[in-house]
Structure 1
Amino acid sequence: MTRYFRDHPARTGDRMLLKMEHYLEHYDELLADWQGRDVSFLEIGVYKGGSLPMWQGFLGPGSRLVFLDIDPACRDLALQGTTVEIGDQADPVFLEEVGVAHGPFDLIIDDGGHKMHQQITSFRHLWPRLADRGLYIVEDVHTSYWPGFGGGLRAPASFIEFAKDLIDRMHSWYTEDDAGFPLHPMAKEIGGIRFYDSLVVIEKRLKEAPVAITAQNGQVSRSRRMLEVRGRRSIF
């Protein structure tokens, strides 16, 4: 397994990198197949600029690397081959401008202000700009448990609760309550959601309604009946 991210701190220069250490191991696992690929990349949050050389060294030389920050001083931290846009991640107009100018993106990472309205607004407006098979990663979601950031344990407005709701939306194919729990459009867009300590990873995978297969003696049949039956007590 690659150790690019875990080994990177020992290779840093004068730009400070601030990450939870266990994120680096997760990135080595999650993104092993991405190393050297030319992709369209967006990260929210520049801070001291330490992540710019990290991502530039990991992704392919033809990648489009865009970074966002609310601090105008961060513009001076841009490296050759990168773009730093200045604006508020909770401003839908700014996010739309970024999406039009630079999207669609293959990989989006939110390491910005970590407040609930920031994370949720950014996701809502940038998810449509994420390409099929892309990943949307939100860091530092432990702030969902901090009232000072708009969170709190099971606080309805927290990003963690928002992400839990995405699980329901992903599974809304299987509803037996069309009025109370209708099919949500994001069921056709979310391929998977992974929760790690302080990280949420949402995979975009455009798809049609799930199909059940039966196979015997090499003969395969397909059916969507599982999505249509109501009042079921067994799938067998």
Structure 2
Amino acid sequence: MTMQGQPPDLGALADRYGSDKGYRNRDAHGYTAVYDLLLAHRRAEPLNFLEIGLLVGGPEATGGSARRETVDAPSVRMWLDYLPNAQVFGFDISDFSAVSLERFTFVQGDMGDPVDLARLRGACPEGFDVVVDDGSHASWHQQTAFIELFPALVPGGTYVIEDLHWQPEQIENLRQVPKTVELFSRYLLDGRFAETGDIPEERYLEVASQIAGVTFVNEAGLSTGPAKMVIIRKKAAGELLPSRSYHRSRVLQRLGNAEEATRWARIAEAEDPSHFDAAHEHARARFSVEGSSPAVVDLARGLVARFPDRDRGMVLAAWIFSRRPEHLAEAVALQRRAVERAPGVAGYRVTLAHLLRRSGEHDMARSVLEETVQLFADNDLARQRLAELSQGSTA
């Protein structure tokens, strides 16, 4: 825990324990920024959290073996600290039974074996809230695990597959299936899983009926480039889902066709004006093409008016408004509301300080950053921004 008993920053935890999901170890993927957005508002909940793949160097690595020495599980320690009330489950082909930690349950097995995956489901009969696949990265392993474990998610649960950009050749070629990024891209475009290779299409029928949304995360969070993660969300009970046009817009945006993505986003919102995701995507896509044009400003203002309790809408609108000096005060007010709505997201606070600084409110910006550092003592970005502000005031 950090000072005054506040919860620690996820990126700092990854760096401390040696996980490559942070910013300093091995490939330093920076995935913790994505997980913080997904989980910051839920970190106090009693979640059932599953991670597949607990340490680098298994059979997926050149010369790696399932009989490797397993003395620690870095990301498990990270999750246990970040989610203090969660039960964390780990699954790996290697034996991690010697890693004895409170609130941690280990199940040994092969993620390509449905029998082992069924045994894993049995370890948490009430269902998982979050599943993170950081296992072998072989496409057929990822897809077999997804088919078996997605039904074990609770309604509204989240399933994440990491490292879509790399597959271990010695395992990848054992089965003929499409790359996982291609499989989910086709699902977004066509609304079904097709051309699935050695895994029959009918195996996907159950999971396809339960999917609420699919989101790709690209290199360094860019809107284009190689996809590194895919986030699949399960339907919540009675949930209103976005249309196929919405999914087409997301795929086209990822492929770099911003104008066509905007066209489909406009169609998606027209099809269902009451759906927040469709309205948010329309405003975001228009902004990527037109910038903060008067029409986009009006669209953002309407988004907040129609969905006044959605912090993501406030943050998008604040960013759009901030690009026009005459709307900067409105941007600051919206960002404040987002912080009040989601106080556990440190990034919202850092953005608020940035907007305050642009508004000339340097003392207020400093106060926000000081509070952020106090609440999230391991947040390097807040510390950096505070140092920059202090240097500027003494220059």
> Larger radius of gyration, structure 1 or 2?
2
The CA distance in 2 between the partners of 1:87 and 1:204, in whole Å, is: 25
Contact 2:19 2:74 in 1 (8 A): yes
| Structure-2 residue corresponding to 1:221 | none
Q: 2:232 aligns with which of 183, 198, 202?
A: 202
CA RMSD in angstroms, aligned pairs only:
2.9
Q: Name the structure 1 match of 2:138.
A: 115
Correspondent of 2:98 among 48, 59, 76: 76
Q: Contact 1:130/1:204 (CA < 8 Å) preserved in 2? A: yes
Partner of 1:98, secondary structure, is helix
- The Cα shift of 1:83 comes to 0.6
How far the C-alpha of 1:102 sits from its partner, in A, is 1.0
Report the Cα distance in structure 2 between the residues aligned to 1:187 and 1:169, rounded to whole angstroms: 12
Is 1:170–1:190's contact at 8 Å kept on the other side of the alignment? Answer: no
Task: Provide closer, same or farther for how the CA distance between residues 46 and 208 of structure 1 changes in structure 2, counting only shifts above 3 A.
Answer: closer
CA shift in 2, pair 1:209/1:8, >3 Å: closer
> Where does 1:62-101 land on structure 2 (aligned, <5 Å)?
63-72=86-95, 74-101=96-123
Deviation of 1:164 after TM superposition, in Å, equals: 1.9
Q: Is the counterpart of residue 129 in structure 1 residue 152 in structure 2?
A: yes
Q: Distance in 2 between matches of 1:196 and 1:3?
A: 24
Q: Equivalent of 1:106, from 129, 134, 147?
A: 129
Task: Name the counterpart of 2:30.
Answer: 22
**Residues 83 and 186 of structure 1: CA distance in aligned 2, closer, same or farther (over 3 Å):** closer
Q: 8 Å contact 2:150–2:207 — kept in the other structure?
A: no
* Higher normalized strand content (fraction of residues): 1
Match of 2:144, as an amino acid?
A: T
Q: 1:51 to 1:185 in 2, by over 3 A?
A: closer
**Alignment partner, residue 11 of structure 2:** 6
1:228 alignment partner in structure 2: none
Cα 1:185–1:86 shift into 2, 3 Å: closer
Asked if the contact 1:18–1:50 (Cα under 8 Å) also holds between the matched residues in 2, the reply is no
DSSP 3-state at the match of 2:110: coil
Q: Counting helix residues as a fraction of each chain, which structure ranks higher?
A: 2
Give the superposition deviation at 1:21: 3.2
Q: Which amino acid aligns with 1:199?
A: M
Aligned-partner Cα distance in 2 for 1:127–1:110? 11
Residue 161 (structure 1) aligned with residue 182 (structure 2): yes
Report the Cα distance in structure 2 between the residues aligned to 1:170 and 1:186, rounded to whole angstroms: 12
Relative distance call for 1:55 and 1:186 in structure 2 (3 A) is same
- After superposition, the Cα gap between the structure-2 partners of 1:185 and 1:58, relative to the gap in structure 1 and judged at 3 Å, is same
Following TM superposition, by how much is the alpha carbon of 1:213 offset from its aligned partner in structure 2, in angstroms?
6.3
**Letter matched to residue 131 of structure 2:** I
Q: Which runs of 5+ in 1 are unaligned?
A: 173-183, 216-236
State the TM-score, normalizing by the size of structure 2: 0.44
Matches within 5 A, 1:27-46: 27-46=35-54
- Greater Cα shift, 186-195 or 45-54: 186-195
Aligned amino acid, residue 163 of structure 1: F
Shift of 1:96: 0.7
Which residue of 68, 74, 78 maps to 1:50? 74
CA 1:159–1:76: 2 relative to 1, 3 Å = same
Task: Please tell me the residue identity of whatever aligns with 1:87.
Answer: G
Unaligned runs of 5+ in 2: 1-6, 22-27, 56-71, 194-204, 219-227, 244-270, 275-395
Shift of 1:92: 0.2
Judged with a 3 Å threshold, the aligned counterparts in structure 2 of structure 1 residues 208 and 34 are, in CA distance, closer, same or farther, namely closer
Say which SS state the counterpart of residue 141 (structure 1) adopts: coil
1:193 to 214, 223, 227: 214
Deviation at 1:10, TM superposition (A): 4.7
The DSSP-based 3-state class of the residue aligned with 2:98 is: helix
- Are 1:167 and 1:193, in contact at CA under 8 Å, matched by a contact in 2? yes
Give the TM-score normalised by structure 1.
0.71
